[in-house]
Amino acid sequence: MANDNQPRAQRTPIVTLTLLAMMVATELTFAFEGLERPEDRAALYGVLPGMHLRVEDWWRALTAPFVHAGWTHLSVNLLLLGPSALILERRAGPGALLVVALAGGALPTFVSAAWNDTTSIGASGMAFATLAALGPLGLRLGVLTPARMALATLLLAMLALTGDTHVDTRSHVSGVAVGVLLGFVCTRWTSTHPMGKLSS
């Protein structure tokens, strides 16, 4: 167990490693079971086109971010999520990352399911949320000015809108919005709460 007096930047990033490990484990499980088609995977744990989330299907919003269309899809999301999650956890704490990651994965899935003309699986909403949360974090730490944070968020939102008709851009843009909002909430809490001082 990590010493509470140990500098946050030196602690094991347990939430980051757990999230990434769960995604890899899920992909390995699907590969072992021979579930290669994204539609089959989405039918089990994601959201298919035309499948609007019912109350009893709420759990799909939590499982869909851990389901990917294959190793390429997973690798791209790991490359987006890994570094941003690590920075957020090291600087704002594991609780802040957990909130941003889970909400950034679940809420965009609900938004996508409201229209859902594409299959909703993958951690891209979560990745965009953690990336966007770094803006408020940088602002709080004095690394970014308000103008630079706004510009970075705008560029990230534009990136979230790119892709063909098979890309769930609603989920991506929703992830950016969730990340910015929760980034302000979490960095505010961690900078004032005695158990969650921001790492410098």
Among the listed residues 94, 98, 178, 197, the one whose alpha carbon sits nearest the alpha carbon of residue 140: 197
**94-117 pLDDT, tens digit each:** 999 999 999 999 988 888 777 766
Cβ atoms of 14 and 94 within 8 Å: the answer is yes
**Which domains, and CATH codes, for the chain?**
12-192 (1.20.1540.10)
Across residues 116-136, what is the average pLDDT? Answer: 88
Assign 3-state DSSP to the chain and report helix, strand, coil percentages, each to 5.
Answer: 70, 0, 30
- 70 vs 118, more confident: 70
Q: Considering the entire predicted model, what is its pTM?
A: 0.85
- Mean pLDDT in the chain? 84
**132-188 pLDDT, tens digit each:** 999 999 988 888 889 999 999 999 889 888 876 667 788 889 999 999 999 999 877
pLDDT for residue 4 is more than 60:
no
